[in-house]
Amino acid sequence: MIRAVLFDLDGVLTDTERLHWAAYRRVLLELGVDMGLEEYRRWFIARGIGPEYACRTYRLPVAP
């Protein structure tokens, strides 16, 4: 029987925003894109369209 459910919005129990940014940044650097933390926050966190933004803005290859 489930007695409790715990939800963790980022920053409540653990703050993983910088870890997510570091992972995206590492991949983007391999593609020649150096995305800063503020740009990441604006598109990936605030608007939730980070991958679409990065592909469109930096003309990254999209594969199925």
pLDDT digits (tens, 9 = 90+) for 14-55: 888 889 999 999 999 999 999 999 999 999 988 989 999 999
Q: Show me where the domains of the chain are located.
A: 17-57
Above 90 in pLDDT, residue 63? no
Count the Cβ atoms, other than its own, within 10 Å of residue 37: 13
Q: Which pLDDT belongs to residue 25?
A: 95
CA nearest neighbour of 40 among 27, 55, 24: 24
As given in the structure block, the two tokens for residue 60 are 């990254």
For residue 11, pLDDT beyond 80: no
- Predicted TM-score of the model (pTM): 0.72
**Is residue 44 within 8 Å of residue 50, measured between CB atoms?**
yes
